[in-house]
Structures are given as C-alpha cells and as structure tokens.
C-alpha cells in the first residue's frame, strides 16, 4: 500500500494573511492573502511555510497555513501513517 502513495502527488497549498483575532481564523483583508504556492508533498510545503512564517515573525497577527489539497481532491484516499 505504501508504494501506491510514494509515486502519487500529495498536493499541499501554503497561504497566509493577517488575522483579525489571534484566537480565530478570520482574515483582515481577503484581497491581501499571500498565496505562497502549491507543493508536491508535505515536506516541501512545510519548508515553504516555515520560511514565510519566519519572515513575518515580527507581526503577531500574520499566520501561514498548510492545506492538504490531496485530501480535498480525493477524500476517500488517505495516505498511510508514516512510521
């Protein structure tokens, strides 16, 4: 089963923006969302997320997120748990 997922693209979206409240995911201005990119695996997405988060560390309201696009595109398929 692991062979099936090792060759599949597991797309991830990295994006962020300034929040109105630190305790909710409500963006101040949707027109100013920063779409960092779409990545072929979680490791690449995590690296992009970490870089953007570090660039904006001085703005407490700024948050970046990783969205598992492959789960939205094919919710029936769940990759195996890493060991």
CATH number of 40's domain: 3.30.70.2400
Note down the domain range covering 55: 16-64
Does residue 11 fall inside a structural domain? no
Does residue 83 fall inside a structural domain? no
The pLDDT value given to residue 79: 58
Q: How many domains does the chain have?
A: 1
Taking the model in full, what pTM does it have? 0.77
With contact defined as beta carbons under 8 Å apart, do 64 and 52 qualify? yes
Does residue 59 fall inside a structural domain? yes
Q: How far apart are CA 59 and CA 62, in angstroms?
A: 6
Does residue 4 fall inside a structural domain? no
The pLDDT value given to residue 1: 39
Does residue 82 fall inside a structural domain? no
pLDDT less than 50: residues of the chain? 1-5, 83
Does residue 44 fall inside a structural domain? yes
């Amino acid at each position: 089963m692991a062979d099936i997922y090792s060759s599949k693209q597991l797309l991830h979206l990295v994006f962020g923006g300034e929040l109105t409240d630190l305790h909710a995911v409500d963006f101040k201005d949707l027109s100013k969302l920063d779409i960092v990119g779409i990545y072929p695996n979680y490791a690449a997405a995590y690296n992009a997320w970490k870089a953007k988060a570090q660039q904006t560390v001085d703005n407490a309201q700024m948050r970046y997120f990783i969205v598992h696009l492959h789960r939205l595109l094919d919710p029936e398929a769940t990759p195996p748990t890493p060991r």
